[in-house]
Amino acid sequence: MIDTEYDVVVVGAGPGGSITAKNCAERGMKTLMVEKRQMIGDPVRCAEGIAKHTVKKHIEPNPKWICAEAKGFRIFSPSGIKVEMVGEFGSGEVGYVLDRKLFDRALAHEAARSGATILVKTRATGLLIEDGKVCGVELEHLGKKFCVRAKVVVGADGVESKVGRWAGMNTSLKPRDIETCAQALVYDPSADQEFCEFYLGREIAPGGYAWIFPKGEGCANVGLGILGSFSDAGAPFNYLNNFLKKYLPNAKILEIIVGGVPVSKPTDGIVGDGIVLVGDAARQSDPLTGGGIGNAMEAGAIAGEVVSEAISEGDTSAERLREYEERWFKERGKKLMRNWLVKEHIMSLSDEELDKLAKSIADVKFKGLQLYELLKHLLRRNPKLLWKLKGYI
Amino acid sequence: MVLNVNRYVCGYCGACVAVCPHCALELVETWLEIGSGCTECGICVKICPVGALSLDEVKA
Ligand SMILES: Cc1cc2nc3c(=O)[nH]c(=O)nc-3n(C[C@H](O)[C@H](O)[C@H](O)COP(=O)(O)OP(=O)(O)OC[C@H]3O[C@@H](n4cnc5c(N)ncnc54)[C@H](O)[C@@H]3O)c2cc1C
Ligand code: SF4
Ligand code: SF4
């Protein structure tokens, strides 16, 4: 049964929400997680790539939701120059390729097992705010509206987040701060099953990139994202069709996926009195790679800890909850800031300049590198082209 | 002008909701609602990955 009062209400049962709920429930918080969809994890809005060590930090890997393991990645410059790296990639989204439908459900299962109450097909439609402090949510479940009070509300409601906006935080994204994406899960035995591949170029994906991720059994996630400011109605889907025609003309499409990824400058202001935002809702996805599963889980773990402590101390003010924001920034946000700067700069380069960069490191045998070191190699070999980034790498 | 959504085309991804400066859109599972706050600015139309949104003379 649903009560009318909880310590914590988490809105959204994606990776961010489930890890937050789990971490709160584990600390004895009376926790409710609501999800507007009738099926957690479905439909997927993701290419499903993630570093192995990030997964392992939060949940025991399970072959049920691991579709493939990539042994490295390849980047193709606009004219097709290949840069290849073998080994687990520190801050990248390469390692496992997941089945998000099952993965998201497994995370929600963990939250439930830790004691959280979960309510699906339940949409948050507003916040209860008293004296400027968030103290609950308005919900709608199977056509019925009701309110639930909470000491802290966690907005983990993804790219389309409203929770922050209801509390007066401006989290709406400008077109230049979102990648608009289209993806197909395809069956095509010719698709590489060992590497995650990335394709750059204005003709392929203006202001973004295309990807081919192995999904096992002859399948692959083939998709692309283009920067919102370069987009036009339906553009991502059209670019995807062109990409498929060129690179995997025999692909049979098993599933179509569309979605948006925030690639904005990391911001503060993700906490308020009685409220915190987590994951895509807090715009915590990596602006360079577009990866957001790992960051949502990391943020969820920190938020769960801080929120629980704050509630135990009886102080859920913005000042107290700011510890979450500060720790987030220290642990991940700084790197995101660097990646945002790199993204902004790469975006300003022409296809010819990107080719030049790729050529400069095409002979390097990378093994188990961090993104940081790849960037350092690039900078060392292209000081003029990348001078703007000198201070950051 | 009026904003229309073609629900036979929409992939219910929420990208349009994220960019609407006026909080006028709401994604209810597979059903995109257009609220009263829409100023017909057209931002969401350009963002939609499948082209399900359009600004038209009349309400569809
Ligand atoms: C095409 C594409 C490819 C991507 N590829 C990758 C990748 O390869 N690797 C990677 O790491 N990341 C990738 N991402 C990003 C990744 O999918 C997100 O960053 C990640 O899902 C964020 O997790 P989250 O928990 O913050 O939000 P979500 O997973 O979006 O979960 C939010 C949940 O909140 C629910 N919700 C929203 N509003 C309400 C409401 N009012 N009431 C109740 N529930 C609500 C939603 O239904 C949803 O289930 C990709 C994204 C896209 C679009
Ligand atoms: S962006 Fe397009 S596909 Fe996505 S929810 Fe909005 S109208 Fe539907
Ligand atoms: S046209 Fe502008 S105001 Fe109207 S829903 Fe789209 S983004 Fe919002």
Residues A359 and A98: their CA atoms lie apart, in Å, by 32
Give the model confidence (pLDDT) of A345-386 as tens digits: 998 999 999 999 999 998 887 766 667 778 888 888 998 888
Question: Are the Cβ atoms of A38 and B11 closer than 8 angstroms?
Answer: no
Q: Which amino acid is at A48?
A: E
**pTM, entire model:** 0.97
Based on the domain organization, do A203 and A276 belong to the same domain? no
B43 CB neighbours in chain A (<8 A) are 175
A13 CB neighbours in chain B (<8 A) are none
Tokens of A49: 């790539």
Model pLDDT, residue A391? 76
Place of tokens 């283009």: A226
Q: Is the pLDDT of residue A90 over 90?
A: no
Please name the fold of domain B2-56.
Answer: Alpha-Beta Plaits (3.30.70)
Question: Which of A93, A90, A50 is closest to A372 using CA atoms?
Answer: A90
Based on the domain organization, do A253 and A191 belong to the same domain? yes
pLDDT confidence bin for A89, thresholds 50/70/90: low
Model pLDDT, residue A363? 83
Q: Which atom of ligand 3 is nearest to the CA of B45?
A: 6
**Is B53 part of the contact surface with chain A (CB cutoff 8 Å)?**
yes
Give the list of residues 6+ apart from residue B10 with CB closer than 8 angstroms, or none.
Answer: B30, B32, B48, B50, B52
Q: What residue owns the CA closest to ligand 1's atom 10?
A: A291
Give the model confidence (pLDDT) of A264-276 as tens digits: 999 889 999 999 9
Question: Are the Cβ atoms of B47 and A260 closer than 8 angstroms?
Answer: yes
Burial of A113 (0-12, 13-18, 19+ CB in 10 A): exposed
Place of tokens 């002008």: B1
Based on the domain organization, do A120 and A250 belong to the same domain? no
If one counts every other C-beta atom within 10 angstroms of the C-beta of residue A216, the result is 13
Model pLDDT, residue A376? 83
Q: Are A316 and A323 in contact (CB under 8 A)?
A: no
Does the ipTM surpass 0.90?
Answer: yes
Residues A161 and A276: their CA atoms lie apart, in Å, by 12
Give the list of residues 6+ apart from residue A247 with CB closer than 8 angstroms, or none.
Answer: A199, A212, A222
Give the model confidence (pLDDT) of A276-300 as tens digits: 999 999 999 999 999 999 999 999 9
Model pLDDT, residue A125? 98
Q: What is the mean pLDDT of residues A310-328?
A: 98
Based on the domain organization, do A156 and A192 belong to the same domain? no
- B59 Cα to the center of ligand 2, angstroms: 18
Percent residues over pLDDT 70 in chain A: 97
Model pLDDT, residue A368? 63
Model pLDDT, residue A87? 73
**Is B11 part of the contact surface with chain A (CB cutoff 8 Å)?**
yes
Q: Are A36 and A141 in contact (CB under 8 A)?
A: no
Based on the domain organization, do A137 and A237 belong to the same domain? no
User: How many residues can be counted in chain B?
Assistant: 60
Model pLDDT, residue A206? 97
Total domain count, chain A: 2
Longest dimension (CA), chain B: 28
Q: Are A16 and A307 in contact (CB under 8 A)?
A: no
Based on the domain organization, do A113 and A194 belong to the same domain? no
Q: Which amino acid is at A379?
A: L
Model pLDDT, residue A343? 93
Q: Is the pLDDT of residue A10 over 90?
A: yes
The ligand 3 site (C-beta within 6 Å) comprises B 3, 20, 22, 24-25, 38-44
Model pLDDT, residue A174? 98
The CATH number of residue A324's host domain is: 3.50.50.60
Strand partners, A118: A33
Percent residues over pLDDT 90 in chain A: 85
User: Nearest by CB to B15, which of A43, A256, A259?
Assistant: A259
Q: What is the SS3 assignment for chain A?
A: CCCCEEEEEEECCCHHHHHHHHHHHHCCCCEEEECCCCCCCCCCCCCCEECHHHHHHHCCCCHHHEEEECCEEEEECCCCCEEEEECCCCCCCCCEEECHHHHHHHHHHHHHHCCCEEECCEEEEEEEEECCEEEEEEEEECCEEEEEEEEEEEECCCCCCCHHHHCCCCCCCCHHHEEEEEEEEEECCCCCCCEEEEECCCCCCCCCEEEEEEEECCEEEEEEEEEHHHCCCCHHHHHHHHHHHHHCCCCEEEEEEEEEEECCCCCCCCEECCEEECHHHHCCCCCCCCCCHHHHHHHHHHHHHHHHHHHHHCCCCHHHHHHHHHHHHHHHHHHHHHHHHHHHHHHCCCHHHHHHHHHHHCCCCEECCCHHHHHHHHHHHCCCCCHHHHHHC
Q: Is the pLDDT of residue A259 over 80?
A: yes
Based on the domain organization, do A202 and A66 belong to the same domain? yes
Based on the domain organization, do A146 and A19 belong to the same domain? yes
Question: Domain limits of chain B?
Answer: 2-56
Model pLDDT, residue A373? 75
Model pLDDT, residue A374? 81
Q: Identify the domain boundary among A262, A278, A305.
A: A262
**Is B26 part of the contact surface with chain A (CB cutoff 8 Å)?**
yes
Based on the domain organization, do A185 and A92 belong to the same domain? yes
Give the model confidence (pLDDT) of A222-249 as tens digits: 999 999 999 999 999 999 999 999 999 9
Angle at A210 between CA A73 and CA A202, to 5 degrees: 120
Question: Are the Cβ atoms of B20 and A172 closer than 8 angstroms?
Answer: yes
Model pLDDT, residue A362? 86
Give the model confidence (pLDDT) of A116-135 as tens digits: 999 999 999 999 999 999 99
Question: Are the Cβ atoms of B29 and A182 closer than 8 angstroms?
Answer: no
Mutate to test the interface with B, among A127, A145, A160 (most CBs of B within 10 A): A160
Q: Identify the domain boundary among A205, A240, A262.
A: A262
Q: What is the mean pLDDT of residues A194-217?
A: 96
**Is B55 part of the contact surface with chain A (CB cutoff 8 Å)?**
no
Classify residue A382: in a domain, yes or no. no
Model pLDDT, residue A388? 81
**CB of residue B32 inside a 6 A radius of ligand 2:** yes
- A390 versus A186: the higher-pLDDT residue is A186
Based on the domain organization, do A25 and A154 belong to the same domain? yes
Model pLDDT, residue A369? 60
Residues A175 and A262: their CA atoms lie apart, in Å, by 10
Based on the domain organization, do A185 and A255 belong to the same domain? yes
**CB of residue B24 inside a 6 A radius of ligand 2:** no
Determine if the peptide bond prior to A249 is cis (ω within 30°): no
Classify residue A380: in a domain, yes or no. no
Place of tokens 């579709």: A67
Based on the domain organization, do A105 and A237 belong to the same domain? no
Residues 323-382 of A with CB under 8 A from B: none
> What average pLDDT does chain A have?
94
Q: What residue owns the CA closest to ligand 3's atom 2?
A: B41
Model pLDDT, residue A93? 60
Q: Which atom of ligand 2 is nearest to the CA of B14?
A: 5
Residues A292 and B3: their CA atoms lie apart, in Å, by 31
* Domain around A150: 5-45+101-172+265-344
Q: Identify the domain boundary among A328, A344, A360.
A: A344
Model pLDDT, residue A167? 98
pLDDT confidence bin for A330, thresholds 50/70/90: very high
